[in-house]
Amino acid sequence: MHERVLGIDVGGTTVKWVVLDALTTTVLVRGAVPTAADPHAVAADLAALVVRAEYLADDVAGGDARIGAIGVGVPGHVDRRTGVVRFLPNVPGGWPGFPLAGTLRAATGRPVTVLNDARAFCQAEWRLGAARGHDDVLFLTLGTGVGGGVVSGGRLLTGPDDRLGEIGHLVYDRRGPACGCGHRGCLETFASATAIARAAGRATAEDAFLAPGDLDARMAVATAGRAIGETVASLCAVLPAGLLVVGGGVAAGLPRLRPYIEIALAERRDFIGVVDVVAAGLGPDAGAVGAALAALDVRDSTTTDGGGRELDQASA
Protein backbone atom coordinates (compact mmCIF):
# COMPACT_ATOMS: atom_id res chain seq x y z
CA MET A 1 0.00 0.00 0.00
CA HIS A 2 1.35 3.42 -0.95
CA GLU A 3 2.28 6.01 1.63
CA ARG A 4 0.21 9.18 1.69
CA VAL A 5 1.12 12.83 2.08
CA LEU A 6 -0.99 15.73 3.33
CA GLY A 7 -0.84 19.07 1.52
CA ILE A 8 -2.28 22.16 3.22
CA ASP A 9 -2.95 25.62 1.76
CA VAL A 10 -3.44 28.24 4.49
CA GLY A 11 -5.43 31.23 3.22
CA GLY A 12 -6.66 34.42 4.83
CA THR A 13 -10.13 32.96 5.42
CA THR A 14 -9.94 29.26 4.47
CA VAL A 15 -7.54 26.35 4.90
CA LYS A 16 -7.73 23.93 1.95
CA TRP A 17 -6.18 20.47 2.12
CA VAL A 18 -5.64 17.33 0.06
CA VAL A 19 -4.23 13.87 0.69
CA LEU A 20 -2.08 12.54 -2.15
CA ASP A 21 -0.99 9.02 -2.93
CA ALA A 22 2.79 9.39 -2.61
CA LEU A 23 3.52 7.17 -5.62
CA THR A 24 0.88 8.22 -8.14
CA THR A 25 0.30 11.81 -6.85
CA THR A 26 -3.42 11.13 -7.19
CA VAL A 27 -5.67 13.22 -4.92
CA LEU A 28 -7.45 10.73 -2.64
CA VAL A 29 -9.52 13.16 -0.60
CA ARG A 30 -9.86 16.92 -0.18
CA GLY A 31 -11.50 19.39 2.17
CA ALA A 32 -11.53 22.88 3.66
CA VAL A 33 -11.92 24.48 7.09
CA PRO A 34 -12.07 28.14 8.23
CA THR A 35 -8.75 29.79 9.11
CA ALA A 36 -8.41 30.28 12.87
CA ALA A 37 -7.69 33.65 14.47
CA ASP A 38 -4.04 33.21 15.54
CA PRO A 39 -1.03 31.03 14.69
CA HIS A 40 -1.32 28.73 17.71
CA ALA A 41 -4.98 28.03 16.91
CA VAL A 42 -4.12 27.46 13.24
CA ALA A 43 -1.37 24.99 14.20
CA ALA A 44 -3.76 23.16 16.54
CA ASP A 45 -6.35 22.92 13.77
CA LEU A 46 -3.74 21.58 11.34
CA ALA A 47 -2.61 18.95 13.84
CA ALA A 48 -6.21 17.80 14.31
CA LEU A 49 -6.63 17.79 10.55
CA VAL A 50 -3.91 15.15 10.16
CA VAL A 51 -5.99 12.61 12.09
CA ARG A 52 -9.19 13.53 10.27
CA ALA A 53 -7.55 13.46 6.83
CA GLU A 54 -5.98 10.07 7.56
CA TYR A 55 -9.37 8.66 8.54
CA LEU A 56 -11.14 10.12 5.48
CA ALA A 57 -8.44 8.86 3.11
CA ASP A 58 -8.77 5.36 4.58
CA ASP A 59 -12.54 5.54 4.18
CA VAL A 60 -12.37 6.68 0.55
CA ALA A 61 -9.32 4.79 -0.74
CA GLY A 62 -9.34 1.80 1.59
CA GLY A 63 -6.60 0.41 3.79
CA ASP A 64 -4.93 2.12 6.71
CA ALA A 65 -1.92 3.82 5.12
CA ARG A 66 -0.28 6.45 7.31
CA ILE A 67 0.24 10.05 6.26
CA GLY A 68 4.02 10.08 6.13
CA ALA A 69 4.73 13.77 5.52
CA ILE A 70 3.01 17.15 5.65
CA GLY A 71 3.47 20.17 3.40
CA VAL A 72 2.04 23.57 4.32
CA GLY A 73 1.77 26.58 2.01
CA VAL A 74 1.34 30.00 3.66
CA PRO A 75 0.74 33.40 2.01
CA GLY A 76 3.96 35.08 3.07
CA HIS A 77 7.68 34.69 3.65
CA VAL A 78 9.10 31.66 5.42
CA ASP A 79 12.52 30.32 6.27
CA ARG A 80 12.50 27.12 4.22
CA ARG A 81 15.32 25.63 6.30
CA THR A 82 13.62 26.02 9.70
CA GLY A 83 9.94 26.39 8.82
CA VAL A 84 9.69 29.67 10.74
CA VAL A 85 7.21 32.22 9.37
CA ARG A 86 8.80 35.62 8.68
CA PHE A 87 5.96 37.74 7.24
CA LEU A 88 2.29 36.91 6.74
CA PRO A 89 0.25 40.05 5.97
CA ASN A 90 -3.13 38.58 4.99
CA VAL A 91 -3.69 36.02 7.77
CA PRO A 92 -4.98 37.06 11.24
CA GLY A 93 -2.70 36.97 14.26
CA GLY A 94 0.93 37.63 15.14
CA TRP A 95 2.77 35.33 12.74
CA PRO A 96 6.32 36.78 12.41
CA GLY A 97 8.76 34.41 14.13
CA PHE A 98 6.21 31.63 14.64
CA PRO A 99 7.85 28.15 14.24
CA LEU A 100 5.04 26.57 12.24
CA ALA A 101 6.97 23.51 11.07
CA GLY A 102 8.36 22.75 14.52
CA THR A 103 5.02 23.24 16.25
CA LEU A 104 3.20 21.00 13.80
CA ARG A 105 5.91 18.36 13.87
CA ALA A 106 5.87 18.24 17.67
CA ALA A 107 2.09 17.78 17.63
CA THR A 108 1.95 15.11 14.91
CA GLY A 109 5.31 13.32 14.86
CA ARG A 110 5.48 13.76 11.08
CA PRO A 111 8.10 15.59 8.98
CA VAL A 112 6.76 19.02 8.00
CA THR A 113 7.73 21.28 5.10
CA VAL A 114 6.57 24.92 5.03
CA LEU A 115 6.75 27.11 1.93
CA ASN A 116 5.15 30.13 0.32
CA ASP A 117 1.68 29.30 -0.98
CA ALA A 118 2.25 30.85 -4.39
CA ARG A 119 5.39 28.79 -4.89
CA ALA A 120 3.35 25.73 -3.90
CA PHE A 121 0.82 26.69 -6.58
CA CYS A 122 3.67 27.02 -9.09
CA GLN A 123 5.04 23.58 -8.19
CA ALA A 124 1.67 21.97 -8.81
CA GLU A 125 0.84 23.74 -12.06
CA TRP A 126 4.35 23.31 -13.47
CA ARG A 127 4.62 19.61 -12.67
CA LEU A 128 1.02 18.44 -13.02
CA GLY A 129 -1.07 21.27 -14.45
CA ALA A 130 -1.28 23.98 -17.10
CA ALA A 131 2.48 24.63 -17.31
CA ARG A 132 3.58 21.01 -17.57
CA GLY A 133 6.33 20.68 -20.17
CA HIS A 134 7.18 24.41 -20.22
CA ASP A 135 10.58 25.73 -19.14
CA ASP A 136 9.88 29.48 -18.90
CA VAL A 137 6.65 30.44 -17.16
CA LEU A 138 5.20 33.22 -15.02
CA PHE A 139 2.48 32.38 -12.49
CA LEU A 140 -0.09 34.57 -10.75
CA THR A 141 -2.45 33.61 -7.94
CA LEU A 142 -5.29 36.08 -7.52
CA GLY A 143 -7.16 35.84 -4.24
CA THR A 144 -7.23 37.82 -0.99
CA GLY A 145 -3.77 38.90 -2.09
CA VAL A 146 -1.75 38.43 -5.27
CA GLY A 147 1.04 35.86 -5.29
CA GLY A 148 3.27 34.65 -8.05
CA GLY A 149 6.23 32.66 -9.14
CA VAL A 150 8.79 32.17 -11.88
CA VAL A 151 10.03 29.10 -13.69
CA SER A 152 13.12 30.03 -15.70
CA GLY A 153 15.27 27.63 -17.66
CA GLY A 154 13.30 24.69 -16.31
CA ARG A 155 13.81 25.63 -12.66
CA LEU A 156 11.39 27.09 -10.11
CA LEU A 157 13.09 30.12 -8.57
CA THR A 158 12.72 30.65 -4.81
CA GLY A 159 15.43 32.74 -3.13
CA PRO A 160 15.91 33.73 0.54
CA ASP A 161 12.83 33.28 2.74
CA ASP A 162 11.02 31.90 -0.33
CA ARG A 163 10.48 35.50 -1.51
CA LEU A 164 11.48 35.28 -5.16
CA GLY A 165 8.35 35.56 -7.27
CA GLU A 166 6.41 38.13 -5.22
CA ILE A 167 4.85 39.61 -8.34
CA GLY A 168 1.91 40.97 -6.37
CA HIS A 169 4.23 43.37 -4.55
CA LEU A 170 5.76 44.95 -7.61
CA VAL A 171 4.68 48.60 -7.61
CA TYR A 172 2.24 49.28 -10.44
CA ASP A 173 1.28 52.85 -9.46
CA ARG A 174 2.92 54.44 -6.42
CA ARG A 175 -0.06 56.80 -6.12
CA GLY A 176 -2.32 53.79 -5.59
CA PRO A 177 -3.85 52.38 -2.39
CA ALA A 178 -1.83 51.32 0.63
CA CYS A 179 -0.75 47.67 0.55
CA GLY A 180 -0.43 45.21 3.42
CA CYS A 181 3.30 44.96 2.72
CA GLY A 182 3.77 48.58 3.86
CA HIS A 183 4.07 50.23 0.44
CA ARG A 184 1.55 51.83 -1.90
CA GLY A 185 0.28 50.92 -5.34
CA CYS A 186 1.46 47.30 -5.51
CA LEU A 187 -0.18 45.10 -8.14
CA GLU A 188 -2.08 43.45 -5.27
CA THR A 189 -3.90 46.73 -4.56
CA PHE A 190 -5.36 46.68 -8.08
CA ALA A 191 -5.80 43.01 -8.98
CA SER A 192 -6.66 41.09 -5.80
CA ALA A 193 -10.21 40.00 -5.04
CA THR A 194 -10.36 42.64 -2.32
CA ALA A 195 -9.15 45.38 -4.66
CA ILE A 196 -11.56 44.50 -7.47
CA ALA A 197 -14.53 44.34 -5.10
CA ARG A 198 -13.60 47.67 -3.48
CA ALA A 199 -13.11 49.46 -6.80
CA ALA A 200 -16.38 48.07 -8.14
CA GLY A 201 -18.34 48.95 -5.01
CA ARG A 202 -19.40 45.32 -4.70
CA ALA A 203 -19.29 42.78 -1.90
CA THR A 204 -17.03 40.39 -3.84
CA ALA A 205 -14.92 40.28 -6.99
CA GLU A 206 -17.31 37.65 -8.34
CA ASP A 207 -20.13 40.21 -8.10
CA ALA A 208 -18.04 42.59 -10.21
CA PHE A 209 -17.42 39.93 -12.86
CA LEU A 210 -21.15 39.21 -13.01
CA ALA A 211 -22.07 42.87 -13.60
CA PRO A 212 -20.57 43.77 -17.00
CA GLY A 213 -23.24 46.41 -17.55
CA ASP A 214 -22.23 48.36 -14.43
CA LEU A 215 -19.68 51.09 -15.18
CA ASP A 216 -17.83 50.83 -11.85
CA ALA A 217 -17.60 47.05 -12.12
CA ARG A 218 -16.40 47.24 -15.71
CA MET A 219 -13.74 49.82 -14.81
CA ALA A 220 -12.54 47.75 -11.84
CA VAL A 221 -12.11 44.67 -14.03
CA ALA A 222 -10.42 46.67 -16.79
CA THR A 223 -8.02 48.30 -14.32
CA ALA A 224 -7.13 44.95 -12.77
CA GLY A 225 -6.54 43.32 -16.15
CA ARG A 226 -4.48 46.23 -17.39
CA ALA A 227 -2.38 46.23 -14.21
CA ILE A 228 -1.69 42.51 -14.58
CA GLY A 229 -0.79 42.82 -18.26
CA GLU A 230 1.57 45.77 -17.84
CA THR A 231 3.30 44.21 -14.82
CA VAL A 232 3.79 40.89 -16.60
CA ALA A 233 5.06 42.67 -19.72
CA SER A 234 7.69 44.45 -17.64
CA LEU A 235 8.70 41.16 -16.02
CA CYS A 236 9.06 39.51 -19.41
CA ALA A 237 11.66 42.12 -20.35
CA VAL A 238 13.85 40.64 -17.60
CA LEU A 239 12.62 37.04 -17.40
CA PRO A 240 11.41 36.01 -20.86
CA ALA A 241 8.40 33.72 -20.60
CA GLY A 242 6.01 32.45 -23.21
CA LEU A 243 3.26 31.48 -20.78
CA LEU A 244 1.32 33.16 -17.96
CA VAL A 245 -0.70 30.81 -15.73
CA VAL A 246 -3.42 32.49 -13.67
CA GLY A 247 -5.00 30.78 -10.66
CA GLY A 248 -6.63 31.55 -7.34
CA GLY A 249 -10.18 32.53 -6.47
CA VAL A 250 -10.27 35.47 -8.88
CA ALA A 251 -9.18 33.22 -11.76
CA ALA A 252 -12.84 32.30 -12.26
CA GLY A 253 -13.14 35.79 -13.73
CA LEU A 254 -10.25 35.27 -16.16
CA PRO A 255 -12.55 35.40 -19.23
CA ARG A 256 -13.40 38.98 -18.20
CA LEU A 257 -9.81 39.90 -17.28
CA ARG A 258 -8.04 38.24 -20.21
CA PRO A 259 -8.85 40.81 -22.94
CA TYR A 260 -7.30 43.62 -20.88
CA ILE A 261 -4.28 41.50 -19.95
CA GLU A 262 -3.71 40.55 -23.58
CA ILE A 263 -4.04 44.14 -24.84
CA ALA A 264 -1.28 45.26 -22.46
CA LEU A 265 0.93 42.33 -23.46
CA ALA A 266 0.34 42.95 -27.16
CA GLU A 267 1.59 46.52 -26.80
CA ARG A 268 5.03 45.10 -25.86
CA ARG A 269 4.96 42.11 -28.21
CA ASP A 270 7.75 43.37 -30.48
CA PHE A 271 10.09 43.36 -27.51
CA ILE A 272 8.87 40.52 -25.26
CA GLY A 273 7.37 38.17 -27.86
CA VAL A 274 4.07 36.33 -27.56
CA VAL A 275 2.87 35.45 -24.05
CA ASP A 276 -0.07 33.06 -23.84
CA VAL A 277 -2.49 33.60 -20.95
CA VAL A 278 -4.11 30.43 -19.57
CA ALA A 279 -6.12 29.42 -16.52
CA ALA A 280 -4.61 27.11 -13.93
CA GLY A 281 -5.38 23.49 -14.65
CA LEU A 282 -5.73 22.13 -11.11
CA GLY A 283 -8.39 24.54 -9.87
CA PRO A 284 -8.66 25.28 -6.14
CA ASP A 285 -6.55 22.20 -5.27
CA ALA A 286 -3.36 23.64 -6.78
CA GLY A 287 -1.88 25.23 -3.65
CA ALA A 288 -2.49 22.20 -1.45
CA VAL A 289 -1.25 19.81 -4.14
CA GLY A 290 1.93 21.87 -4.52
CA ALA A 291 2.51 21.81 -0.76
CA ALA A 292 2.15 18.03 -0.82
CA LEU A 293 4.62 17.78 -3.70
CA ALA A 294 7.11 19.91 -1.76
CA ALA A 295 6.77 17.55 1.21
CA LEU A 296 7.42 14.59 -1.08
CA ASP A 297 10.50 16.31 -2.50
CA VAL A 298 12.15 16.57 0.91
CA ARG A 299 10.77 13.37 2.39
CA ASP A 300 13.91 11.38 1.58
CA SER A 301 16.42 14.19 2.09
CA THR A 302 17.88 15.94 5.11
CA THR A 303 15.90 18.95 6.32
CA THR A 304 15.00 20.48 9.68
CA ASP A 305 12.11 20.06 12.04
CA GLY A 306 11.26 23.76 12.27
CA GLY A 307 13.45 24.24 15.31
CA GLY A 308 16.79 24.13 13.55
CA ARG A 309 17.59 20.44 14.17
CA GLU A 310 18.49 18.34 11.16
CA LEU A 311 16.44 15.25 10.42
CA ASP A 312 16.80 12.34 8.07
CA GLN A 313 13.24 12.45 6.81
CA ALA A 314 13.48 9.00 5.28
CA SER A 315 13.63 7.57 8.79
CA ALA A 316 11.74 10.23 10.75
At 264-288, the pLDDT tens digits run 999 999 999 999 999 999 988 999 9
Say yes or no to pLDDT of 162 above 90.
Answer: no
Please provide the distance, in angstroms rounded to a whole number, between the alpha carbons at the two ends of the chain: 19
| SS3 category, 295 | helix
Poorest-confidence range of 79-93, 126-140, 220-234, 248-262?
Answer: 79-93
Give residue 79's identity as a one-letter amino acid code: D
8-state DSSP, 63: S
- Domain boundaries, given as residue ranges, for the chain: 4-120+284-302, 133-279
Distance of CA 58 to the CA centre of its chain: 27
What's residue 1's pLDDT?
A: 55
CATH of 133-279, one of 2.30.40.10, 3.40.50.720, 3.10.20.30, 3.30.420.40: 3.30.420.40
CA nearest 77: which of 119, 46, 138? Answer: 119
What's residue 218's pLDDT?
A: 96
Task: Say how far apart CA 146 and CA 186 lie, in whole Å.
Answer: 9
Task: Say how far apart CA 166 and CA 146 lie, in whole Å.
Answer: 8
How does residue 316 score in pLDDT terms, banded at 50, 70 and 90? Answer: very low
Statement: 4-120+284-302 belongs to CATH 3.30.420.40: yes
4-120+284-302 and 133-279: same fold? yes
Say yes or no to pLDDT of 303 above 90.
Answer: no
What's residue 308's pLDDT?
A: 37
